[in-house]
Structure 1
């Protein structure tokens, strides 16, 4: 719509441009006129008004870029504001979110079937849609126990599943060691200790390492290992519950 309006505005002497000028001048905001809808769109996306465009028609490539950026910024902000209200998405890093740029999970994933499966499990975890016992208890109004069905020691939330459950320690230990060895070669030993000795930091590292900007050069390698860890834990949990 916005591109079409710009083309109409640029077509001096045309019937369509004359109609646009007349309707923009005379129609009220509750009108169903197509040109009134253009006013509402330009206001929503904080673009130059239709009258301004008619007075000074921007170059096509400039208008296209302006509209593209305005629309992307608007919906990006809407999505981020909504996502920040979701407790289940608190581990997701919104600071790096860009329209048209895939998340590190998919950027680091290969195209082979196993890699895609790993990425799918990781995407569920990072978006808060991977169902654990604590989720079931919450959904059922606590009529279902939140106790871990593997070790029966603690509530099975994300922290317990990824870091604490003793029944999964055999699987977890190998990948944690690989992650630690990877980072030992990249960053200061004190930073490595802070990441692995504090459970909140370790959980964030596994779920979405892009929150740690100082690890940017290693994001892809970390993601491949953490996706493998999550998928292996998922497989082990599933097999133990059969």
Structure 2
């Protein structure tokens, strides 16, 4: 019960500031139509309830399961299993990420369907999956994360020189939306589980940096789309 109360307070404290700002603007500057303002208030209620349920689900289900899967994979003693399931889990959790779908919908509308939602979602998911796999490889062999970051962004800047300018901001937005509420908890828990088995609990900090690496994959994927469509 304490966890439920803490989650409710956390969500209320998070949602309340933006609600108060909009209410203040409503009665001072913007004066939205009454129907639209009431829709906003109903949306605030839905968002609050949804975030409470989502965060409870993360704490009850996603985090424990992600860490358990991560701690079970190294026990197989097979590198390819760790890499394959790292890729697969990064891929499927990105498909479920709501932020990615919102971005894909907006790009689909702006591009008049030239870049479809399906292509963008699966391209971003593929990029995340590949870089989560590389992050697993980094945890196993314990080489510095700076090598992957420098190499990844080197590829990004190289591709950016061959990509139409309109794709560059989209690609970096795609990297940002992968740091959403679905992807981050699961990937971090997965990395903690893998690192805790391979080098013990004292080395669980090796799991951090997975989100930074995972955000590079979608950037590269969308830039490649730009090269193809351009």
TM-score category, normalised to shorter length: under 0.3
Name the structure, 1 or 2, with higher relative contact order (CA <8 Å, separation 6+).
2
TM-score normalised by structure 1 residue count = 0.27
Relative to total residues, which structure has the larger helix share, 1 or 2?
2
Q: Which one has a bigger Cα radius of gyration?
A: 1
TM-score normalised by structure 2 residue count = 0.28
